[in-house]
């Protein structure tokens, strides 16, 4: 018999939908992917070349469980450059993707029965990881966070820019959060994909990292989803806890992938990154134009995704849309109760494919 904690674990619906779409495509059906939050771009060539060079040079053995020093040093320089904060490389640990970093972060501070606040709506995996670690996920509204605090509140997960809303948490809201909770786990995986305004990092509110755990990675900004390279930044006590988990569960992050990731800081890779950001913004504006023409209610995201209210049950809408028009989206209910009549639309596909997908949606709702 399976363990209760695994039985209580929900599947990740986005990946279930992707698997269904791939099965449809194997049968020859033309599916437009607006469901998966994965850049359609290939990883920039200098990163790939650096990884290949590392393989050829025999960099196929274990590294320090913290990750290679050179990569941690580059990340330290990045935070100094972008946020004006000194972060020691010893306050950074490289992980096998930001999702693993998130699991390590939650595991490090949560005891059975502790409550962890998450935004309604929010990334579906948060609640599963919290429950797996023995915690209790509590959906909340960040603007009224004091109303959700209890004696058992241990942490809040802030995802900014957010999945699925695409909104950025302001410095004022961040201050409110810090005044009310013992720990802030800041998921900043979309921090480089802000098209309007400025991203606020948790480190700007807590430079000494006394109650902050930052989780980030390279997947979204550098089209490196399959590389599974992320990192955690925090105080030494928490980093040491994460280190113990890493040593016992995964030993160390993939060596040659780390050497590939080192290249993200090179100027030629920055040019490729900036091109991708510009193209994502063009696609974002295209999707917004269609959504407004449909008469759907939606926030105007400055990053990441769209989460429109489609005026009916989002799961029914998403299922029928895929069946009848071969356009894949994600039902909003999986992100939280407020998403019942919503769907999530990703614009991480080509401009032409997105346009075709939105035209199919137009036909679907006008039928």
Question: Going by DSSP bridges, is the β-strand pair 183-187/212-217 parallel, antiparallel, or unpaired?
Answer: parallel
| All domains in the chain, ordered by first residue | 4-43+268-366 (3.90.1150.10), 59-264 (3.40.640.10)
At residue 358, the pLDDT reads 98
What is the spatial distance between Cα 311 and Cα 365, in angstroms, rounded to a whole number? 11
For the chain, give the secondary structure using H, E and C: CCCHHHHCCCCCHHHHHHHHHHHHHHCCCCCEECCCCCCCCCCCHHHHHHHHHHHHCCCCCCCCCCCCHHHHHHHHHHHHHHHCCCCCHHHEEEECCHHHHHHHHHHHHCCCCCEEEEECCCCCHHHHHHHHCCCEEEEECHHHHHHHCCCCEEEEEEECCCCCCCCCCCHHHHHHHHHHCCEEEEECCCCCCECCCCCCCHHHCCCCCCCEEEEEECCCCCCCHHHCCEEEECCHHHHHHHHHHHHHHCCCCCHHHHHHHHHHHCHHHHHHHHHHHHHHHHHHHHHHHHHHHHCCECCCCCECEECCECCCCHHHHHHHHHHHHCEECEEHHHHCHHHCCEEEEECCCCHHHHHHHHHHHHHHHHC
Q: Give the residue from 304, 258, 256 showing the smallest Cα distance to 281.
A: 304
Contact 202, 212 (CB under 8 A): yes
Please write the tens of the pLDDT for every residue from 141-165: 999 999 999 999 999 999 999 999 9
Higher pLDDT, 8 or 324: 324
At residue 272, the pLDDT reads 96
- Residues contacting residue 226 through CB under 8 Å, at least 6 positions apart: none
At residue 197, the pLDDT reads 85
Higher pLDDT, 304 or 210: 210
Please write the tens of the pLDDT for every residue from 85-120: 999 999 999 999 999 999 999 999 999 999 999 999
Residue 303 — very low, low, confident or very high, per pLDDT cuts 50/70/90? confident
Q: Give the residue from 64, 92, 63 showing the smallest Cα distance to 76.
A: 92
Q: What are the residues facing 309 on neighbouring strands?
A: 297, 342
At residue 6, the pLDDT reads 85
Q: Give the residue from 103, 80, 84, 81 showing the smallest Cα distance to 93.
A: 103
Whether this prediction's pTM lies above 0.85 is answered by: yes
Residue 328 — very low, low, confident or very high, per pLDDT cuts 50/70/90? very high
At residue 10, the pLDDT reads 84
């Amino acid at each position: 018999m399976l363990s209760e904690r695994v039985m209580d674990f929900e599947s990740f619906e986005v990946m279930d939908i992707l698997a269904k779409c791939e099965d449809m495509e194997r049968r020859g059906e033309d599916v437009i992917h607006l469901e998966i939050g994965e850049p359609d771009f290939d990883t920039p060539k200098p990163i790939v070349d650096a990884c290949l060079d590392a393989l050829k040079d025999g960099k196929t053995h274990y590294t320090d469980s913290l990750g290679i020093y050179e990569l941690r040093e580059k990340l330290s320089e990045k935070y100094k450059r972008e946020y004006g904060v000194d972060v020691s490389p010893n306050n950074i640990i490289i992980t096998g993707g930001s999702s693993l970093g998130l699991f390590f972060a939650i595991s490090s501070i949560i005891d059975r029965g502790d409550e962890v606040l998450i935004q309604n709506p929010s990334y579906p995996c948060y609640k599963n990881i919290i429950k797996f670690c023995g915690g209790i996920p509590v959906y909340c509204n960040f603007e009224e966070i004091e109303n959700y605090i209890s004696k058992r509140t241990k942490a809040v997960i802030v995802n900014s820019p957010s999945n699925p809303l695409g909104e950025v948490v302001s410095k004022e809201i961040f201050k409110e959060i810090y005044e009310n909770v013992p720990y802030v786990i800041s998921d900043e995986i979309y921090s480089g994909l802000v098209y309007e305004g400025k991203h606020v990092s948790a480190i700007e509110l807590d430079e000494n990292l006394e109650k902050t755990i930052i989780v980030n990675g390279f997947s979204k900004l550098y089209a490196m989803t399959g590389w599974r390279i992320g990192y955690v930044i925090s105080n030494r006590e928490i980093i040491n806890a994460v280190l113990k988990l890493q040593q016992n569960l995964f030993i160390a992050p993939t060596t040659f992938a780390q050497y590939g990731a080192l290249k993200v800081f090179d100027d030629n890779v920055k040019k490729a990154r900036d091109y991708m950001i510009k193209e994502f913004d063009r696609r974002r504006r295209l999707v917004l134009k269609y959504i407004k023409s449909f008469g759907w209610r939606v926030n105007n995201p400055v990053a990441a995704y769209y989460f429109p209210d489609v005026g009916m049950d989002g799961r029914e809408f998403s299922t029928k849309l895929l069946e009848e028009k071969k356009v894949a989206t994600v039902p909003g209910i999986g992100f939280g109760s407020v998403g019942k009549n919503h769907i999530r639309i990703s614009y991480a596909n080509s401009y032409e494919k997105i346009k075709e997908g939105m035209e199919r949606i137009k036909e679907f709702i006008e039928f």
